[in-house]
Amino acid sequence: MLSANSSRSLSINTLKSAQPVKRNQRLAGHGFVLICLGAWAVFSATVDSYVMPGPWLVAERLIALLRDSHEASHMLYSFMHVTVAVAISFVIGSALAMLAQYAGLFRLAVHGRISPFLNSFSGVGWTFLAIIWFGISDMTVIFVISMVLIPFAIINMREGLENLDSERIEMAESFTRSRWRRFCLIVLPSLTPFIFATIRISFGVAWKVALTAELFGGDAGLGYLLNLARQDFDMPLVIGVIVIIVTFVFLTERLIFQPLQSRLSRHHAHA
């Protein structure tokens, strides 16, 4: 399942994962996956398939899911929910972080009140409130994911804004008096790694929240599918959906975010 790649998924220092890792460590990694799959197969043979279906049953169900256009469309719905929510929360979170940064009076209100409050408010809480307000709909799901993601966006963008090089800003001020030009040419490029980290973290969190939100408050998406599977005791489908989520998070991390981030940090290393 996760055997294709060997280096760390969330490690910040990309340098380290580029180092050649010892061969037997990698072998041990592959062996571990095989042992786990083997143990799963043996265990599933001893219990009923509605308790624990074997790897084969799950794989068959997954293929059936991907072939069935109706079931597969739930993946698109989830993708839509996640993307829209990441965009909304990014805009709101950055706006709040900038408000705190550039209008110092609001700093306590944003970082001392709004951000900790949102941060400690449970996603399930938002889900149940949103169901009361918007009913079972896409709106509910997007609202819940956005509310959960906003504090992540505030915290990450704050980090970026506070790390801006004040000398570089000063230099920019000596070149132009147009705030807009300074913002576009100096501030925004300096913020790029942080914008990137924000979107990356948001994306990872969003998938997990999306599942909860869709399960209780959605009428489409992988979470909804999971709920149907649970009610029908369709265990191969339950595990199949989990496999899809895990694979998707893992692949976007490995194939999109890590390469982009290492390119970005290389670009900014000699800036």
Partner 1 sequence: MPDANTSSRLRGHLASHGIAEGLIIVVLLGWHLLSLGMPDFVLPGPLPVAIRILELFTDATYFVHVASSAVRVVLAVLMAVALGSLLAFLPRWLPITEIIVHGRIKPLLNAFPSVGWAILAIIWFGPSNGTIVFIMIMILTPFCLVNVSEGLKEIDAETIEMARSFTRRRMVVLFKIILPLLMPYFVSALRIAYGVGWKIALVAELFGAQGGLGFLLQEAQGLADATTVFATCFAIVAIFWIGEKLIIDPLARRFTRQRIA
Number of neighbouring beta carbons within 10 Å of residue 76:
12
Provide the token pair at 164. 């801006």
Q: Is 178 in the site for partner 1 (CB under 8 A)?
A: no
Query: Within positions 19 to 58, which residues make up the interface with partner 1, using CB under 8 A?
Result: 21-22, 24-26, 28-29, 32-33, 50-52
Q: How far from each other are the two terminal CA atoms of the chain, in whole angstroms? A: 39
Query: Within positions 198 to 237, which residues make up the interface with partner 1, using CB under 8 A?
Result: 204, 207-208, 211-212, 215-216, 223, 226, 230, 233, 235
Q: Kindly tell me which of 168 and 208 has the beta carbon lying closer to partner 1.
A: 208
**Nearest CA among 151, 158, 154, 149 for reference residue 101:** 158
Specify burial of residue 46 (Cβ count, 10 A radius: 0-12, 13-18, 19+).
exposed
Instruction: Tell which one of 83, 128, 137, 261 touches partner 1 (CB under 8 A).
Output: 128
Q: Kindly tell me which of 107 and 168 has the beta carbon lying closer to partner 1.
A: 107
CA distances 111 to 144, 151, 243, Å, are 21, 9, 37
Count of all residues that appear for the chain in the document: 271
Residues that bind partner 1 (CB under 8 A): 1-2, 5-11, 21-22, 24-26, 28-29, 32-33, 50-52, 104-109, 112-114, 116-117, 119-126, 128-129, 131-133, 204, 207-208, 211-212, 215-216, 223, 226, 230, 233, 235, 238-239, 241-242, 245-246, 249-250, 253
